[in-house]
Structure 1
Amino acid sequence: MEQSLQYSVVNTLYVKALDLLKQLIQIKSFSKEEDKTAKLIGNFWEANNIPYSREQNNIWVTNRYFDVCKPTILFNSHHDTVKPNLSYTNDPFKAIERNGKLYGLGSNDAGGALVSLIATFLYFYYRSDLKYNIIMSATAEEEISGENGVSSILRHFGKLEFAIVGEPTDMKLAIAEKGLLVLDCVAKGTPSHAAHPNDDNAIYNAMEDIEWIKSYQFPKESPWLGKVKMTATSITSESVHNIVPDECRFTIDLYQDPYGGIPHRYLRIVQ
């Protein structure tokens, strides 16, 4: 009887989580543009008769029998997404089930983890015998390490024993992650007509910088996280074909060890 009851509860939560994930996929929620998904998640809590708090595009709830004398665990995942890649083969904003998998932008990072944590929170919400409190937070701006994400609301939670953060890790427990430093770079040059001699082409100058970034290895390596990783992620200049531009802009994502990762130390080396 108990096993049957538990299966029934879990199955109901699975259906709720899957339905919520499908709805999330169909809403554009790029970083800093998560208002509609925040509203959807708030409506979800209302439909389940659970009071919620919202600050900017961050939503959080606490278990019904929250006790300030008990330790608190934070469940957290994010509902913002990156923009879809140009080579995306499906409609990124359409939830498609195929061969037992759900496709759509944000289904993996981090919608699946988010709704799984929400389902877990619902499972424990009415328990009065828990030895700990649970806070469930769905937060914004994770993809850009934005200042209006989870870090902006931690002050509301008090002391936390630890957090369980939902991310696509192939079901493997991760206990650390690299910090992200985004470098917006500009290579300067001398503008001219493309037919004229010019040894100061901004695009070539940028290519030399990017080649250095590609080959450089930082001397220190984290025992947990490995090497510091620098990756060129975008490049742009004048769009006119017969003009040598005076500048070429490119972006570098630098993934650093958060324990030794003092941003200005990396900047000093790169500059």
Structure 2
Amino acid sequence: MSKLDELKEILKKLIAIPSVTGNEHDIAIYIADYLRQCGVDSVELQPVEGNRLNVVAHLKGEKVGPVVLLTGHMDTVAPGEGWRTDPFKATERDGRIYGRGAADMKGGIAAILVAIRNAAAQREQMRGEAIIAFVCDEEAYSKGVDALIRSGIRADYGIAAEPEWDAVIGAVGKMLIKVRVYGIAAHGSQPEKGINAVEEGAKFLAALDRLPLGQHPKLGCQQYVTLKMEGGFKEYGVVVPEYCEILINKHTVPSETRETVLRDMRELVERLGLRARFEFELQQPYYDAFDLAPDLKPFERVKNIFEEVTGRKMKSAYCSGVSDNNRWVIDAGIPVICLGPHGEGYHQKDEWVELKTVEQMSEIYQRLLMET
């Protein structure tokens, strides 16, 4: 069987195992079984929550070299409606594989698995150690990667096989802030005797655009976005609302932290002279922004191999969304870039991955282990 045929076979099996967030158990079992058959040194099924699992494997070469993390997430978003094909039955057409998770990111998982099988068969030529980590819950709260970080996982550098054909070396962060506004109830005919929590909250929201925004040369500045505001009676009553709750999303750049953002919001309340009492609480999920230096030594090797294999210049990119990579870089302290097979339509109908790039990325991952 050719390498491409093996990649297609594995990818089709992965797509046929539904793994919408919360249901990653079966795909974790399949991946763990495959890795055991590859002859890696160890395979662990790490419990995360309920029957949800991470898969962690180790493969050590016989030559001296770095510890390299190869990682990806096993969960996908729900398929939704309007597909031209069965989202859980891989369809091959025009050099592409269609199916839920084909790009995000079962194509990347297949590429890693075949790279590890080939490296294990040549471990006398392999340099250093590979840690293979496939996690659950990336599409929701990153509970999988959080469990791995708590376990003390360490590596010199890593690659997340996300569908990024340019190397993502930086990304925004994300804060979800619950604002509780406490006023004083009064009869609606005598509002001066109370403090209207809804009106006070509205004044605060109207002034959000006065808050300072951090700047980044690649990520720009990220705005405050009001997601929800709720207050007042649930059943009709002529009562000045004594409570209001607001949910605000704030994507961040590296210069912005939870401390600076919450400080700025508290200071805004003071400047406005609002009479209600405001409480701010950071909600999950929370991610710090990051920006890796593009000239880090390990990534120079990644760049060279990528360009040799693909014949294409590897560019640096920055992501306007968050992922497990924020956790790897900031919380685990491991410089991890996103670089994986090219595809489109992730989180949409008719998702696809380009088979040629799955094969190329598998070769790149393997060569990193053999030549670093």
With the length of structure 2 as denominator, give the TM-score of the two structures: 0.53
**Equivalent-residue separation in structure 2 for 1:60 and 1:203 (angstroms):** 49
Q: Distance in 1 between matches of 2:126 and 2:14?
A: 26
Partner residue of 2:119 out of 119, 124, 130:
124
Structure 1 residue aligned with 2:146: 148
Q: Using a 3 Å threshold, how does the CA distance of structure 1 residues 103 and 12 change in structure 2: closer, same or farther? A: closer
Instruction: Give the secondary-structure state (helix, strand or coil) at the position aligned to 1:164.
Output: strand
Q: Distance in 2 between matches of 1:81 and 1:206?
A: 37
1:181-219 per-position Cα deviation (integer Å, ceiling 9, x unaligned): 3212223455689x8676855455444444444x35634
Q: 1:97 to 1:53 in 2, by over 3 A?
A: closer
Task: Encode CA deviations 1:226-265: one digit per residue, 9 max, x unaligned.
Answer: 213433345555793635764343333322234x343211
Structure 1 match to 2:172: 178
RMSD: 3.9
> Which residue of the partner structure matches residue 139 of structure 1?
135
Aligned residue pair count: 248
Deviation at 1:138, TM superposition (A): 0.8
Rounded to whole Å, the distance in 2 between the matches of 1:29 and 1:231 is 25
Take 1:116 and 1:218, find their aligned partners in 2: how far apart are those partners? 43
**Cα distance in 2 between the residues matched to 1:235 and 1:248:** 7
* 2:3 is the counterpart of 1:9: yes
Match of 2:300 in 1: none
Deviation at 1:12?
0.9
Partner of 1:222: 216
Deviation at 1:43, TM superposition (A): 4.0
Query: 1:52 and 2:47 equivalent?
Result: no
Letter aligned with residue 19 of structure 2: I
For the residues of structure 2 that align with 1:174 and 1:10, how far apart are their CA atoms? 26
SS in 2 for 1:70: strand
Percent identical among aligned pairs is 15
Alignment of 1:227-242 (within 5 A): 227-236=221-230, 240=234, 242=236
The answer on 1:66 being equivalent to 2:45 is: no
Alpha-carbon contact 1:140-1:149 (below 8 Å) kept: no
2:224–2:251 CA contact under 8 A, matched in 1: yes
Q: Distance in 1 between the 2:89 and 2:37 partners? A: 25
Between the aligned partners of 1:239 and 1:120, the Cα distance in structure 2 is 60
Q: CA deviation at 1:35?
A: 4.7
Rounded Cα–Cα distance in structure 2 between residues aligned with 1:94 and 1:236: 37
> Which residue is 1:161 aligned to?
156
> Once the 2 structures are TM-superposed, how far is the Cα of residue 75 of structure 1 from its aligned partner?
0.9
Change (3 A) 1:141 1:246: farther
Deviations 1:151-192 (CA, angstroms, capped at 9, x unpaired): 224x244xx3321123344x2211112232321222345568
| Residue 27 (structure 1) aligns with | 19
- In structure 2, how many angstroms separate the alpha carbons of the residues matched to 1:109 and 1:200? 49
TM-score, scaled to structure 1: 0.69
Counterparts of 2:156 and 2:34, CA distance in 1? 27
Structure 1 residues 79 and 212: alpha-carbon distance in aligned structure 2, compared to 1, 3 A threshold: farther
Unpaired runs of at least 5, structure 2:
48-52, 267-372
Which amino acid is the alignment partner of residue 45 of structure 2? R
In 2, Cα distance between equivalents of 1:237 and 1:60: 46
